Chain A
Amino acid sequence: MQPRIKQFPQLSSEALANNQIQKNLLGLYDGFHKARISASEATPNWDELSDRGRAIKEHTIENLDYYLEMVERTVTAAGGKVFFAKDAAEANKYVVDIAKARGVKLVIKGKSMVSEEMGLNHELEKAGIEPVETDLGEYIIQLAGETPFHIIAPAIHKSKEEVSDLFQEKLGTPPMTEITDLAMEARRQLRSKFINADMGITGANFIVAETGTVALVTNEGNGRMSSSMPKLHIAITGMEKVVPSIEDLGIMLRLLIRSATGQRISSYVTTITGPRKQDDEDGPEEFHLVLVDNGRSKLLADPAMRESLYCIRCGACLNACPVYRKVGGHAYGWVYPGPIGAIISPMLTGLSDGKDLPYASSLCGACKEACPVKINIPRMLLYMRHQLAEGDNYPEHKTAPFSEAMTFKLWRFALSSSLGLRVFGGMARILQKLVAKDGRITKLPPPLSNWSKLRTFPALASKPFRSRWKG
Chain B
Amino acid sequence: MDSKEFIANVRRSLGREAGAPPPAPPDATYLALSNQQVKSKAQAISRDLEANADEYMALLEKSAEEAGWRVARCENATEAANHILNIVRDVEATSVLFSGHSALDDLHLDAALSGTGVQLEAMVLDDNSDKKAQRDDFRQKAINADIGITGVDYAVAETGTAVLLAQKGVSRVVSLLPPVHIAVVEKGQVLPSLDELFTLRRKEFLNDKLGSYMNLISGPSRSADIEYQIVTGVHGPGEVHMVLIG
Contacts and interface: CB of A to CB of B under 8 A. Distances in A.
B130 interface: no
A274 B212 contact: yes
A276 B213 contact: yes
A221 B158 contact: no
Contacts of B159: 264-265
B173 A156 contact: no
- Chain A interface size, under 10 / 10 to 19 / 20 to 34 / 35 or more: 35 or more
B234 A136 contact: yes
Interface in A188-219: 190-191, 194-195, 210-211, 213, 219
A438 interface: no
Contact of A183 (B123, B194, B217, B231): B231
Contacts of A213: 210
Contacts of B194: 249-250, 253-254, 265
B201 interface: yes
Interface stretch (A8-16, A58-66, A325-333, A447-455): A58-66
B221 A280 contact: no
A137 B205 contact: no
Contacts of B161: 265
B18 to A, nearest CB: 9
Contact of B231 (A154, A180, A248): A180
Given A249-B194, A300-B14, A55 B235 contact: no
Contacts of A183: 223, 226, 231, 233-234
Contacts of A66: 22-23
A355 interface: no
Interface in B161-214: 161, 166-173, 176, 193-195, 197-199, 201-202, 205, 210-214
A442 interface: no
B102 to A, nearest CB: 16
Interface of A: 24, 27, 31, 52, 55-56, 59-60, 62-66, 68-69, 72, 78-79, 82, 84-86, 90, 134-137, 140, 153-156, 158-160, 163, 179-180, 182-184, 186-187, 190-191, 194-195, 210-211, 213, 219-222, 224-225, 227-229, 239, 243-250, 253-254, 261, 264-277, 279-283, 293, 297-298, 300-301
Given A78-B212, A267-B68, 10 more contacts: A69-B7, A158-B227, A219-B221, A227-B213, A243-B29, A249-B194, A264-B159, A271-B214, A280-B167, A300-B10
Interface of B: 1-3, 6-16, 22-23, 25-26, 28-31, 33, 38, 63, 66-68, 123-125, 135, 138-139, 143, 158-161, 166-173, 176, 193-195, 197-199, 201-202, 205, 210-229, 231, 233-237
15 contacts: A68-B3, A78-B210, A220-B221, A224-B172, A224-B215, A244-B30, A248-B198, A264-B160, A267-B221, A268-B218, A268-B221, A270-B215, A273-B213, A280-B172, A298-B13
- Which 5 interchain pairs have the tightest Cβ spacing? A221-B236, A247-B30, A55-B28, A137-B225, A84-B6
